[in-house]
Homo-oligomer: A and B are copies of this chain.
Amino acid sequence: MNTLSYGLLALLSVKPRTGYELMQQIQPLWRAKHSQIYPLLAKLEQLGCVRFVQVTQKEKPDKKIYSITETGLAKLRSWLPEQADEPVKRDELLLKAYCLSLAEPRQARHLIAERRALFQNHLAKYNAQLAELKRETGLSDGEPGLRSPYFGNYILIKRAIAGAQLELEWCSWVMHILDEEQGQCAERPEP
């Protein structure tokens, strides 16, 4: 059982989900495609960590709703206190940012603008998730307590929002520098 398998169990420990939902909802924590998740769910089922009920839908494809078993919960609990690996980050934009002085100013601005747009979308999604979580838990202003199964989701959404905001601030800061240098060129064109 690899780390992603434990991640799937982690999501299922809060509430049952389909493979499709797991694929979508695990993204902010652990990037994975559906082609990786479906085979792992089948393995977890063989191991007795999860079970599923097949639901036939009209107007939509059939689906399997997975839930965690006692065996799965035990596996999760024994994995939890183990030391977590360092987070993995691979960010192509940062590689480009490293040699940004090679790019033409408007290319540079375009790259940063794209990143800004991306994280504006992320931020909107995270805010929507926070609103939905408050609906789900029935807490309009307070926060779910440590023992609530939604506690983890709550602290992660708050983290994601702060992270997206920081990303946007960095983009603004870089854009300002780019604009300043650009402005100087416009005011003082080269002789």
Contacts and interface: CB of A to CB of B under 8 A. Distances in A.
Interface of A: 3, 6-7, 10-11, 13-14, 28-31, 73, 76-77, 79-81, 83-105, 107-108, 110-111, 114-115, 118, 143, 145-149, 151-153, 155-156, 158-159, 162-163, 166, 169-170, 173-174, 177-178, 181
25 contacts: A7-B98, A10-B95, A28-B89, A29-B89, A30-B91, A31-B88, A79-B96, A80-B102, A81-B110, A84-B91, A84-B111, A84-B115, A85-B92, A87-B90, A88-B88, A97-B152, A98-B156, A100-B155, A105-B146, A146-B181, A158-B173, A162-B166, A162-B169, A163-B166, A166-B166
Contacts of A31: 88-90
A99 B80 contact: yes
- A contact face: mostly helix, strand, loop, or mixed: helix
Nearest to A6: B95
- Identical chains bound together, number: 2
Contacts of A98: 7, 10-11, 14, 29, 152-153, 156
A80 B98 CA distance: 10
The 8 closest A-B pairs by CB, nearest first: A87-B91, A84-B93, A98-B152, A7-B95, A88-B90, A84-B92, A29-B94, A10-B99
